[in-house]
Amino acid sequence: MTFGGVSKDYGNRSSLQPHTQLAIQTGGSVLSRLPSSTSTVVKSPIYMLRGFSTSIPFARLNMTTITSLMRISAKDLSQRILAERDSAESTYAIIDVRDDDYLGGHIRGGIHAASEQLDALMPTLLRRLEGKRTVVFHCALSQQRGPSAALRYLRERTAKSSSGESPQQEVLVLDRGFEGWRQVYGEDERLTEGYRKDLWGDH
């Protein structure tokens, strides 16, 4: 075949590996799966991407970043907790990824998954949270560990569900973390467990 007057012979493709046969990019054009004959069919990149989206897992990777993760305020989360207080099973889950700083209180009903152990705990979290509509991650301030854990969870969940459908799930980060939470709700026993004000250095 010819691009801009320069002849290029790509030969017989029958001996190439499947991924090589799938697509070859040359001169800005993506070539379709090539038959064993000498004829070559040129198709647009958009056409080819349709095939990639269903056959190659990385095409479905979540493009969310730490800075683009959605956040929830302490007030909104507290209202959700109280609204489902008497429910047999809540529609949300709260994941606290603090490490040694977990002492001194935690959000009622939250799951402690220390960031240092997240690699080992991730498979369990994925199974346990499968049926939840909303998952909220946080650390002390929700600046690094909490958002990183949320992003890691999103990517692991996307990879796990790449071969099938998974229920829609909202993944959020608690704004200002437990520090912001406890300043407002630390002494509210409906919302916070094990709170020890003396450990927080408040005057």
Q: Is residue 132 part of a domain?
A: yes
2 belongs to a structural domain? no
Of the listed 135, 139, 173, 191, which one is catalytic?
139
How many structural domains does the chain have? 1
Residue 112: which CATH number? 3.40.250.10
Q: Is residue 4 part of a domain?
A: no
Give dist(CA 156, CA 121) in Å, integer. Answer: 12
Q: What is the mean pLDDT of the chain?
A: 77
In-domain check, residue 117: yes
C-beta separation of 65 from 143 below 8 A? no
Is 186 contained in some domain? yes
Domain-embedded: residue 7: no
Distance, in Å, from the CA atom of 181 to the CA atom of 45, rounded to the nearest integer, reads 49
Residue 31 included in any domain: no
Tell me whether residue 77 is in a domain.
yes
Question: Residues 126-176: pLDDT tens digits?
Answer: 999 999 999 999 999 999 999 999 999 999 998 887 655 567 899 999 999
Domain interval for residue 175:
71-190
Q: Is there a contact between 172 and 150 (Cβ–Cβ < 8 Å)?
A: yes
Active site residue 139: yes
